[in-house]
Amino acid sequence: MKKMKLEVSLDYDSDNAWDLYKDCILDMIIGLDVRIDNSNSKNINIFEGVSNYKKGVEYKNYIDVRCVGYSQSDWDEYKIYFDYSNTSEEFKSIEGVAKELKKIYTHKNDYIVKQIEVLDSGHEKLLNTFYFPIMDIEFPNESDIIYQIDDELIEYDEIEFKLN
């Protein structure tokens, strides 16, 4: 008899969640006439190079977005400049960008899942390795991870968490 065991651990090396986050937030501004500047010169503005050619003062409106993380150095302030009215669909999109931007230092959790076949004799064979991020929950717990595993249709009989 054999069983399928999953070993779940944190992935500190891949940056999959960060890369996916950047791609998603950059996709959100496609087609919008906006300029996005950050004030903390020690941090990279992820919008640099995609911001509009216009200067901030040339826009009628702006939104301030304050981003904070878990340590003193994890902070930045962004200004999103735009000319849209507060009732437009574009403004709703800008609010969505602002909401996601507040998560720039948080909500990025990468996991490695090893799928291992375990025989009754105790011998193990690594069958597959999966990598996935959880970005919609700031501090995922084991049930959140199981939900993601089930959503990915990964087969298992038992799960061993190695998250510390």
User: What is the predicted pLDDT for the residue at 1?
Assistant: 78
Q: Say how far apart CA 116 and CA 139 lie, in whole Å.
A: 26
Q: Which residues of the chain have pLDDT under 70?
A: 51
User: What is the predicted pLDDT for the residue at 73?
Assistant: 83
User: What is the predicted pLDDT for the residue at 62?
Assistant: 96
Contact assessment for residue 67 and residue 48, using Cβ atoms and an 8 Å cutoff: no
Q: Say how far apart CA 31 and CA 57 lie, in whole Å.
A: 20
Stated pTM of the model = 0.84
User: What is the predicted pLDDT for the residue at 51?
Assistant: 64
3-state helix, strand, coil in the chain (%, to 5): 25, 35, 40
Please name the helix (run of DSSP H) or strand (run of DSSP E) that holds residue 119, with its range, or none: strand 109-119
Cβ density class 84-117: b for 16+ within 10 Å, e for less: beeeeeebebbeebbebbebbbebbbbbbbbbbe
Q: Virtual CA dihedral for 137, 102, 87, 60, nearest 10 degrees?
A: -170
Residue type present at position 15: D
Where would I find the H helices in 2-156? 16-28, 89-101, 142-151
